[in-house]
Amino acid sequence: MMITIGSIKKEFENMPAAGWKKLYEKYASDERKGVKNLLEKYKKQEEKLELERQRTEQMKQYEREYEHMGYVCGIDEVGRGPLAGPVVACAVILPKDCQILYINDSKKLSAAKREELYQEIEKEAVGIGIGMASPARIDEINILNATYEAMRMAISKLPVRPQILLNDAVTIPQVEIPQVPIIKGDAKSISIAAASIVAKVTRDRMMAEYDKQMPEYGFASNKGYGAAAHIEALKKYGPSPIHRQSFIGNFI
């Protein structure tokens, strides 16, 4: 009895990509159009997977350059521009043999993909540190200094001390560890990209919680940024406890 195309498909689904070659050979002589289409589909998937592996390896260029120094830590932040909510910084140390695919600048990923990668990074990372500065602190010392403070806090929360920091574009004051500022680092360094993902997911979750307490501002959707509906709500209801007073002068 001839095996069904559905059964062949299940074989592929249950087989790691590394084993697909055996299945190609197994069914190469099957002349059914459905089987040929199925094999072609998985060969294209394999090609895409290989391209992703190459892209990920390219994003390890800075990590490879500095790994001889010891732990390489990527640092990034999210939330410098919003009218409300904290600025959140993250420091991530990935293992040298990190095999997580699809890590990229968090802005280039869907919310669902960021959540998925957050779980993988959390599971695989040597260490993760989170730092943040409240809206009140931002008003007190300005957004740039608050961002630096959040970054220093993130470094201090790491379970191990890194020997080199890869930063997204900035050099953090008052930090003794050697630093390498990389322009658009979240698109060039896998460690910085991982930090951008963890920072983004952490802050987005916080804003979703704030939305439950203050639904009139739409924080779950706008994340505190100056969307038109957010500005209208700000004019109508006035500022909430998490609005940055130094950011909203033009709206109230």
Residues 150 and 38 in one domain: no
37 vs 6: CA distance, rounded Å: 12
Residues 129 and 42 in one domain: no
Residues 117 and 32 in one domain: no
Burial of 184 (0-12, 13-18, 19+ CB in 10 A): exposed
Q: What are phi and psi of 4, to 5 degrees?
A: -80, 155
pLDDT reported for residue 117: 98
CATH number at residue 180: 3.30.420.10
Residues 30 and 71 in one domain: no
Confirm whether 170 is domain-assigned: yes
Q: What are phi and psi of 130, to 5 degrees?
A: -115, 135
Note the pLDDT tens digit of each residue in 79-91.
999 999 999 999 9
pLDDT reported for residue 205: 98
pTM of the entire predicted model: 0.89
204 vs 195: CA distance, rounded Å: 14
Question: Domains in the chain: how many in total?
Answer: 2
pLDDT reported for residue 32: 87
Helix (H) / strand (E) containing 91: strand 87-93
Residues 42 and 70 in one domain: no
pLDDT reported for residue 1: 64
Positions of the chain with pLDDT lower than 50, given as ranges: none
Q: Are strands 179-182 and 87-93 parallel, antiparallel or unpaired?
A: unpaired
pLDDT reported for residue 100: 96
